Structure 1
Amino acid sequence: MYKKKRLAVLITLFLFTLFPLQALAVEYAISEVLIEAQVNADGTVDVTENHTYVFEDDFNGISREIIPKDGTAIQKFTGEENGKKLKVEREGNVYKIFRSGDDETVTIQLRYEIQNAVEKFEDGAEFYWPFFDDRNDSDYEQMVITVLPPAPTQQVEFVGYGEAYETGQLKEKGEVRFTMGKVPSGANGDVRVVFDAELFPTLSEQNGSIKMEIADEKERLEDEALVFATRQNTGRSIGTSLLPAVAALLLAMTAWAWNRTRKTKQQAKPKTDEFLVPQQKMSIPATLYFTQSSILTPAVTAAALMELVRKKNVEQLSEDQFRLINRKTEFDHESVLIELLFDKVGDDEFFKTQDLKNYTDNELNHAAYNDSITQWQQEVAAEVKQHNLYGKPLLLRWTVGFIGLALMGSAVFFGVMNLLLLMATALVLSILFVAFCFYSPLVYEGHVIREEWKHLRLAMENLDNSKWRALTSDEKMRAYAYVLGTDEKSTNEKTKRFTQAYSDTAFANFGIFYNPVLLTGLFIAANTSTSASASASGSISGGGVGGGGGGSGAF
């Protein structure tokens, strides 16, 4: 018990080591961020930020990443709440402000100083700063940035980029307020403000005009916005007319495929209601794999052993003992099953049901047993695949694949154009068209196989004894093996009736003493034991202007 607990602790610690962020994730939202940047005459900027967090669980604090522009530096960083100082730790450009709690709303005030934040030119002094950038992992529900001059003035030029574009307003005394509203994670939003050069008498002056550059930037951004709006309108027009047509095409193709399958299935149904055992087109395990489920149950394993008896590869000596008489098999999966039962579990010639229990009770044998069962299942699947029972309409696949890729490209275009509804529609349609590339309709012969064995299974539920006796012993063996493989429990009325049929003299040539309840239950127990054992052992660049930027988080 102690070892198991210690193992669980080690596994937990290992997972926390591999995925620390996911393991320690905190549920939160940032409802409001108010930033005030007081530009000083000496070129420094005093920043005050108020971050309102809405936590939905336990938390230890918030984090703020501030990546300074080239040539600048962040100093005097502090955090407080309602005037109370909070503990702050710095890790590179990330500041962690400690304030623990549980499921509450808090407002944390951050203060810091940006050194060398202002550049002075002949006709003005510029503060150009990215308070957040594309490295930010958090959404801001409401973002407001206010930039204040060193002294009252009306000679102010400003421009915003990204999320800050066309959000700025000139207020009294020369302050500029950028009211951005909601800012999604991964977005940029640089702010750029130019004040009178006379307000910064001690700063060194650089050559050149900054106001002309600001005017050119405004013109450039307006031109880009106009081009964007034109493209957006064009994209909206194309999308609203093209996507419904594409959706109609997909609907028509789906209806065509469904109708085609329905007709083929109808044609494949047996022409007579007479009880017949279908001709052997695939082995019984492969037939069960194809007609019932690709998950081969222990009942199918029991049916496969019965098939080996029918084919006289194996002789049944008693209810619980079998003897191998011929290793030459028709299918590879039959050889795999013989190797498992007679070579690994048995003694090369004889296999007893008790041997299987003893073998699987030993945990050292679980891996070998599971490997053999997996190989057997793979070989059964390989037999089915060889019959090419699914069609491959290459022209249709290439066509829908091309349409799907084109729609994926259009989804990207709509996303860039901020046409989110059209983007989502195009993306869904793209996925559906690409999925259609895997359309593999069942061929006529495949429908025939399924319908014939379905007819057999339903007929045997109310089988007339005279019809059963009219079958050859080989047909009885194949029919019973199939029904056995479809019936995991082997305890209902139809299985009992079929079991009684083994007393019929028609089975004398097979020497059968078959007990489906015993054998199927034995394989179920073996699979359960080994499966439990297997389960227990399984196993940048970016930024805003000047390389600066940052974001917010919590821990």
Structure 2
Amino acid sequence: MKKRLGAFLFILLVFFPTQAFAVEFTIADTDIHAKLLSDGNVEVKETHTYKFDGEFNGITRTLIPKEKSAITNVHASENGTELPVEQEENLYKIHRSGSDESITIELFYTIQNGVEVFEDVGQFYWPFFDESNESSYQNMTITIEPPEPADIKAAYGFDAAYETVSTTEDGKVVFHLGTVDSGENGDIRAAYDAALFSNAPVKSFEPMLEEIQADKKQMDEIIAARAETSERWGNFALYFSAALFILVLTLLISAARKRSETGREVDRRRRSVSGFPKEKMSLPAMMSFTNHGHLPTSALTASLLDLVLKGNIEKVTEEEFKLVHRDTDYKHEHRLITWLFDEIASSDTLHLEDVETYAEDKSNHEKYQLRINAWKEEVKQELQQYTLVENAPVPRFTAAIAALVTLPFIFLFPYYDLFLWMFVSISLFLFFTGFSIAYRPLNEKGRMIKEQLYPIKISDDWKSWEEEDQVPALLYQIGMGKRDLLKTTSPSLAPSNGDWMMFLILGASIQESFQSADKHATVSASSGGVSGGGAGVGGGGGGSGAF
């Protein structure tokens, strides 16, 4: 189970980050020495080496005692010099300020009634840290020393401390935990002859050694069975993931084949079609369709010029426009006229400076954004009326089923410590979910429109088209932001008839006003301790940190 909680916390922190800790540090070494006394108390000396990056005020140590025990006489020192210790319930703050350095602090305390005495043995069963710990230990060692040299009746650890024990001839028990990640438990247990604790209160006059040994045997059996189960699940994960990867390839190949078929038909049709698309679709809708639903500020410029082209609006000068009539083909065109002439200009004549004056007024900032968004929404509604994509129910339904099948294994694999397969499952789940939601291949109509409009984004080939297609092509290029209108227009660009050149010059004036208005109206608009009950044996636990 080691690192299981850490993996889930890693996922949560990646996708839902919370806050940065004020103090950057690592706990390079931690050595805990627990001396068992004949009266059942335990004298503990902890040596912690911290490496700090930046300024710090000290370290923290959370000491949560088990039930019917207590932590007393807590004090700390560095190189023999006593350090101030501040207590907040189970959290102890050792004050020692500095910056960018490594420090080694010794912490001393007594565990009252730390040893539990039975008829045959006395046991020290203790959690020096538990899952509430928020900091990782890079190298931890715990040593248990009996009141005097003696035989060890039993010694083992749980979770992070499992299979880390070694013993010495004089009866010391050493747990070499090494790296201990945050959020882990690691209870330790050592038992000696009860006669060593003659001055300690007896918890029970029943024998306990057989139960301690039985607990160890049961834990070994559970872990062995778990390892066997984990191996079986690992084999399953290999074949399961392989099958899903084959499905991924099948979906991708199917999508590529569909795209190729549609492309061949569109290429065949394009041989007999040229110029700007003749589909019954507004210019803003075309821009939205070919720009992933996004309409930049330049789309307003193009939309206003499109209304000039249609005759709804008449150019008086480069800075002044007159409303001719309100009979529009689309709702968003009517909304744009209403906003520009009724709300901003308050007349049938719009001066471009009216737009800037309107946007400079802070009371209009929210309304400006609301009107723009409402216009974009109506463009979106128009676009939804057209059938430009295929629903592709079979591949999307297949992907959705695959996502549902994969989902439970994201949680099941880490339960058996199969973290690699967990991340593989997450990747597959995200792919299948995204495919089932987003895969809507363009049909021939949608592909045809995109293919016809794409050259306008990257070149001026439209200048050789028929006159009726040149201005719409220019307006599309302007709306997509592919032409810098604020640069001085070169006279060499003007054709003999000058039709689209007039719109280019108008576009420069309008774009400058809308950009200025948009700029005005855009709204610019570590401590590691815990207190309370622990998750270790007997409700105890603890952890480390810094401040």
TM-score (norm 1): 0.86
- Residue aligning to 1:71: 68
One-letter identity of the residue aligned with 2:45: T
1:188 aligns with 2:185: yes
- Residue aligning to 2:5: none
Q: Secondary structure at the match of 1:113?
A: strand
The within-5 A match list for 1:46-195 is 46-195=43-192
One-letter identity of the residue aligned with 1:208: E
Equivalent in 13, 28, 34 of residue 31 of structure 2: 34
- Of 387-396 and 341-350, deviating more is 387-396
**2:64/2:534 contact within 8 Å kept:** no
**1:316/1:512 contact within 8 Å kept:** no
- Structure 1 residue 292 displacement after superposition: 3.6
- Structure 1 residue 496 displacement after superposition: 6.9
Deviation by residue 1:147-193 (Cα, 9 ceiling, x = unmatched): 11112211422231111122222322222111122211111111112
The within-5 A match list for 1:424-463 is 424-438=423-437, 439-455=439-455, 460-461=460-461, 463=463
- Structure 1 residue 500 displacement after superposition: 5.7
Deviation by residue 1:118-140 (Cα, 9 ceiling, x = unmatched): 22111111221110111111111
**Alpha-carbon distance in structure 2 between the residues aligned to 1:119 and 1:457:** 80
**1:323/1:351 contact within 8 Å kept:** yes
Distance 1:149 1:91, change over 3 A: same
- Residue aligning to 1:303: 302
- Residue aligning to 2:508: 517
- Residue aligning to 2:529: none
Identity in percent: 34
- Structure 1 residue 52 displacement after superposition: 1.4
Deviation by residue 1:210-234 (Cα, 9 ceiling, x = unmatched): 1111121011111101211211221
- Structure 1 residue 90 displacement after superposition: 1.2
- Of 482-491 and 337-346, deviating more is 482-491
**Alpha-carbon distance in structure 1 between the residues aligned to 2:28 and 2:458:** 63
- Structure 1 residue 550 displacement after superposition: 1.0
**1:484/1:495 contact within 8 Å kept:** no
- Structure 1 residue 75 displacement after superposition: 0.7
Deviation by residue 1:239-298 (Cα, 9 ceiling, x = unmatched): 233323432332332233233223323422442276433214211011111124533223
Distance 1:501 1:292, change over 3 A: farther
- Residue aligning to 1:551: 543
One-letter identity of the residue aligned with 2:484: K
Distance 1:512 1:70, change over 3 A: closer
- Residue aligning to 1:489: 484
One-letter identity of the residue aligned with 2:516: A
Distance 1:190 1:502, change over 3 A: farther
One-letter identity of the residue aligned with 2:157: G
- Residue aligning to 2:14: none
**Alpha-carbon distance in structure 1 between the residues aligned to 2:419 and 2:20:** 32
Distance 1:380 1:274, change over 3 A: closer
**1:502/1:513 contact within 8 Å kept:** no
**Alpha-carbon distance in structure 1 between the residues aligned to 2:25 and 2:52:** 4
The within-5 A match list for 1:248-397 is 248-269=246-267, 270-272=269-271, 275-292=274-291, 294-397=293-396
**Alpha-carbon distance in structure 1 between the residues aligned to 2:496 and 2:217:** 93
Q: Secondary structure at the match of 1:230?
A: helix
1:479 aligns with 2:473: yes
**Alpha-carbon distance in structure 2 between the residues aligned to 1:429 and 1:390:** 25
Distance 1:193 1:371, change over 3 A: same
**1:480/1:498 contact within 8 Å kept:** no
**Alpha-carbon distance in structure 1 between the residues aligned to 2:266 and 2:364:** 45
- Residue aligning to 2:195: 198
**Alpha-carbon distance in structure 2 between the residues aligned to 1:462 and 1:277:** 8
**2:55/2:97 contact within 8 Å kept:** yes
Structure 2: any 5+ residue segments left out of the alignment? 1-17, 526-531
- Residue aligning to 2:206: 208
Q: Secondary structure at the match of 2:252?
A: helix
**1:370/1:530 contact within 8 Å kept:** yes
- Structure 1 residue 200 displacement after superposition: 1.7
**1:160/1:167 contact within 8 Å kept:** yes
Considering Cα pairs closer than 8 Å and 6+ residues apart, tell me whether 1 or 2 has the greater RCO: 2
Deviation by residue 1:66-105 (Cα, 9 ceiling, x = unmatched): 1111121111111111111111111121111112222222
**Alpha-carbon distance in structure 1 between the residues aligned to 2:124 and 2:446:** 74
One-letter identity of the residue aligned with 1:403: A
- Structure 1 residue 194 displacement after superposition: 1.7
Distance 1:449 1:257, change over 3 A: same
**Alpha-carbon distance in structure 2 between the residues aligned to 1:34 and 1:213:** 29
Q: Secondary structure at the match of 2:230?
A: helix
- Structure 1 residue 50 displacement after superposition: 0.8
- Residue aligning to 1:221: 219
- Of 484-493 and 109-118, deviating more is 484-493
**Alpha-carbon distance in structure 1 between the residues aligned to 2:105 and 2:400:** 52
Q: Secondary structure at the match of 1:95?
A: strand
- Structure 1 residue 111 displacement after superposition: 0.6
Equivalent in 214, 233, 236 of residue 235 of structure 1: 233
Structure 1: any 5+ residue segments left out of the alignment? 1-20
- Structure 1 residue 36 displacement after superposition: 0.7
Distance 1:446 1:184, change over 3 A: same
Distance 1:40 1:259, change over 3 A: same
Distance 1:416 1:155, change over 3 A: same
Distance 1:171 1:457, change over 3 A: closer
Q: Secondary structure at the match of 2:149?
A: coil
- Residue aligning to 1:7: none
Equivalent in 19, 41, 46 of residue 44 of structure 1: 41
1:528 aligns with 2:522: no
Distance 1:82 1:315, change over 3 A: same
CA RMSD, Structure 1 to Structure 2 (Å): 2.8
- Structure 1 residue 63 displacement after superposition: 0.8
- Structure 1 residue 515 displacement after superposition: 1.5
Distance 1:407 1:280, change over 3 A: closer
Deviation by residue 1:433-481 (Cα, 9 ceiling, x = unmatched): 22222222222221111112235666753633xx534x3xxx5553343
**Alpha-carbon distance in structure 2 between the residues aligned to 1:513 and 1:437:** 43
**Alpha-carbon distance in structure 2 between the residues aligned to 1:379 and 1:434:** 29
One-letter identity of the residue aligned with 1:332: K
Distance 1:193 1:246, change over 3 A: same
**2:153/2:209 contact within 8 Å kept:** no
